Amino acid sequence: MRVRLKADGRLVEILHDGSERPIAAGVSAAPATQADYARKVRMATGLTQAAFAARIKVPLETVRNWEQGKRSPRGPARTLLKLIEMAPESVFAALDAA
């Protein structure tokens, strides 16, 4: 499955003919800040900051900085958080296999 994160925050699947199909309709509104969003995604997994950082293979300080608003997840990190929000088991399984 090929997915793309659109500028408006929607996830779409890229089909073989190049068209796009929404992955999750009716997803709740995004939190007010990127820090709130990063914290919401992590807390939904039930992991501590340290365990979450280890699962997504980033330094603990990165997760702390996201959640404290010192830095915002951008590019691939933002996409990864969105995918974890939508399908955490699949994402963690893929990361564990890598």
**pLDDT tens per residue, range 6-52:** 777 778 888 888 888 887 654 444 556 889 999 999 999 999 999 99
Q: What is the pLDDT of residue 79?
A: 93
Range(s) of the domain holding residue 30? 2-97
Predicted confidence band of residue 98 (pLDDT cuts 50, 70, 90)? confident
For 50-61, the pLDDT digits (tens) are 999 999 999 999
Number of neighbouring beta carbons within 10 Å of residue 84: 21
Assign residue 86 the CATH number of its domain: 1.10.260.40
The domain tally of the chain equals: 1
CA angle 61, 65, 69 (to 5 degrees): 175
Distances (CA, A) of 3 to 33, 53, 89: 24, 23, 16
